[in-house]
Amino acid sequence: MKVGLRTALVNLAVLLVLLGLIILTPPAILDGYKAATARPDARAALPNYQGMAWAGKHFEEFNAQRTIYADFIGWRRAPFAGDTITVDSQGYRRHQGSGEPEGAAVWIFGGSTVWGPGVRDEMTLPATIQASSGRPTFNFGESAYTAHQSYNLLIKRYLAGGRPQQVVFYDGANEVVIKCRAELGFFSAAQEVTIRERLRGVSDGASMTLEVFWPALQALRRLSQKLAGPTTADSPATFDCHTNELKRQRIAAALVLDWQLARQLVESRGGRFLAVLQPVAFTGQPALGHLPGVRSDALLRAQYDAVYGEIIKQLSDAAVPYADLRTALDSNGPLYIDFAHVSPPGNQIVGQRIADLLK
């Protein structure tokens, strides 16, 4: 009897080890493959960063960033303390002199162009506005945020006790590059599909076994795709705003309404509101010789041509005041590092323009 029990326990232990290897080995191999094939962010080598020794370290830190889910606003960054990037416990990027949100004179909201990939903490757009205006300016930007997420965050910060003198919404880029994706709608956030799938689960609760093994299966699928080389799944995102008139009209209407509601909220609390239609590489005449991939991206350019045109039309029809900075980065020198983000001189230009408007 003892021999039989011992044999059963040994067999059970072997089975558990094998199951553990089945579950853990594929993700471990995928992680190893990623580490072995990782390459430095090519943006650090752009001519924009000539003489800026910190650029390589910055993009290394940027690519190490993680986000945390947050109700009604989608996500915020996890706390981070690096040489070029500082994110506080609430998920806000910090620069020296900004103080706490409740005490800042100026709040600025927007997507990653406000948050600041490609620049050190003291070179972000909010930091340059602060330096130009001499007034504490708080950075509420977050990657992939649309105006509606910023509006929800504005409500949250007022409820927390803030009373800024001025509030800036810096929008446009994400209304297009996110909402014009064919799989998303006019009211979508960037992670809508991902969050829906994570909440749905693998089998809607029908199979707990599949739920357990799903991460391993997914890791195997992704590893096989990488080893097989590029496929149609690796092709650029498909956009449809240039062919879908109703969708681009609703995208524009959503932005206009968010700006109107934000203005009402700010002014009802004694502040002043500034809406800014931001520049991207497809507006104006910026220098793009150092970014051949961006310059030749006809599909993405078509989205901005279609949606920005509709935004301007609806803003005019609704008599909504705003600052049009679409051509603010026209230059003979390299400012952009991709289709929307800029290096430090670009933020200096836009920051000075916004500081002048706030006066």
124 compared with 8, residue with greater pLDDT:
124
The predicted pLDDT at position 9 comes to 81
Residue 208 has pLDDT above 80, yes or no: no
Residue 64 has pLDDT above 50, yes or no: yes
What whole-number distance in Å separates Cα of residue 107 and Cα of residue 323?
Answer: 16
Span of 7-21, 24-38, 192-206, 283-297 with lowest mean pLDDT: 24-38
Ramachandran region, residue 189 (left: φ > 0; alpha: ψ -120 to 50; beta: rest): beta
The predicted pLDDT at position 260 comes to 98
Residue 222 has pLDDT above 70, yes or no: no
The predicted pLDDT at position 231 comes to 45
What whole-number distance in Å separates Cα of residue 63 and Cα of residue 26?
Answer: 23
The predicted pLDDT at position 150 comes to 98
The predicted pLDDT at position 10 comes to 80
Residue 76 has pLDDT above 50, yes or no: yes
Residue 341: pLDDT band (50, 70, 90) is very high
Of the chain, the percentage scoring pLDDT greater than 90 comes to 76
The predicted pLDDT at position 196 comes to 84
The predicted pLDDT at position 352 comes to 98
- Backbone torsions φ then ψ of 84, nearest 5 degrees: -120, -10
Span of 15-29, 132-146, 344-358 with lowest mean pLDDT: 15-29
Span of 20-29, 84-93, 164-173, 320-329 with lowest mean pLDDT: 20-29
The mean pLDDT of 147-172, rounded to a whole number, is: 97
- State pTM to two decimals: 0.87
Residue 195: pLDDT band (50, 70, 90) is confident
The predicted pLDDT at position 17 comes to 80
What whole-number distance in Å separates Cα of residue 200 and Cα of residue 15?
Answer: 30
Span of 188-197, 280-289, 325-334 with lowest mean pLDDT: 188-197
208 compared with 350, residue with greater pLDDT:
350
Angle at 307 between CA 232 and CA 333, to 5 degrees: 80
The predicted pLDDT at position 262 comes to 98
Amino acid in the structure at residue 135: R
The predicted pLDDT at position 210 comes to 61
The mean pLDDT of 221-232, rounded to a whole number, is: 61
Residue keyed to tokens 């609704």: 318
Nearest alpha carbon to residue 332 among 293, 285, 295, 294 = 285
Residue 205 has pLDDT above 80, yes or no: no
Residue range 42-182+237-358, CATH number: 3.40.50.1110
Amino acid in the structure at residue 115: W
Average pLDDT of the residues of the chain? 90
The mean pLDDT of 8-26, rounded to a whole number, is: 76
Residue 26 has pLDDT above 80, yes or no: no
- Backbone torsions φ then ψ of 88, nearest 5 degrees: -80, -175
Of the chain, the percentage scoring pLDDT greater than 70 comes to 85
Cβ contact 161:102 at 8 Å: yes
Query: What are the residue ranges of helices labelled H in the chain?
Result: 2-37, 55-63, 112-115, 125-133, 147-159, 173-177, 192-200, 208-228, 245-268, 292-295, 298-317, 344-358
The predicted pLDDT at position 169 comes to 98
